[in-house]
Amino acid sequence: MKFLMMVYVDDALLQALPEGEFDTLMRGCLTHADELRAEGCVLDSQQLEPPATARSFRVRQQRTTVFDGPFAETKEYLAGFNLIEADDLDHAMRIARAFPWARIGAIEVRPVRDMDVVRRRVGA
């Protein structure tokens, strides 16, 4: 099964890390992700630019509104993700726990829906 491991960070906690700590954490994460990629557990991973670089939009009553930044102001923001392969949600959670980012935010693990099943269901 595929799972999306979304990494959220709190900028205040991120900025409060001692000098060099972010680099140490990131180096460890990259090494661990490379190991998991070699095992076939990590399929893809990306880090996102800060929320200030984002644009969001919504359509209501056929009118599109575009605004800078994320859709909602939150203390924690989506900083990156890993697409992982795991046996089940418990296995995916064990993989996610090996990453340190929950110390400065949260890690959400969510099953990825099989779009081929959706395509068949809707006849697309």
Q: Which of 65-69, 99-103, 119-123 has the lowest mean pLDDT?
A: 65-69
Token pair listed for 111:
């099953």
CA atoms of 41 and 121, how far apart (whole Å): 28
pLDDT score of 102:
87
How much is the average pLDDT of 77-89?
95
Which pTM value belongs to this model? Answer: 0.84
Residue located via tokens 């992700």 = 33
In sign, the C-alpha dihedral spanning 107, 57, 13, 41 is positive
**C-alpha–C-alpha distance, residues 43 and 34, integer Å:** 10
> Among 80, 105, 116, which Cα is nearest to 4's?
80
CA distance 16 to 9: 12
What DSSP character marks residue 20? Answer: T
Nearest 10 degrees: CA dihedral of 109, 112, 113, 117?
Answer: -150
For residue 4, the tally of other CB atoms under 10 A from its CB is 15
Task: Judge whether residue 82 has pLDDT over 90.
Answer: yes
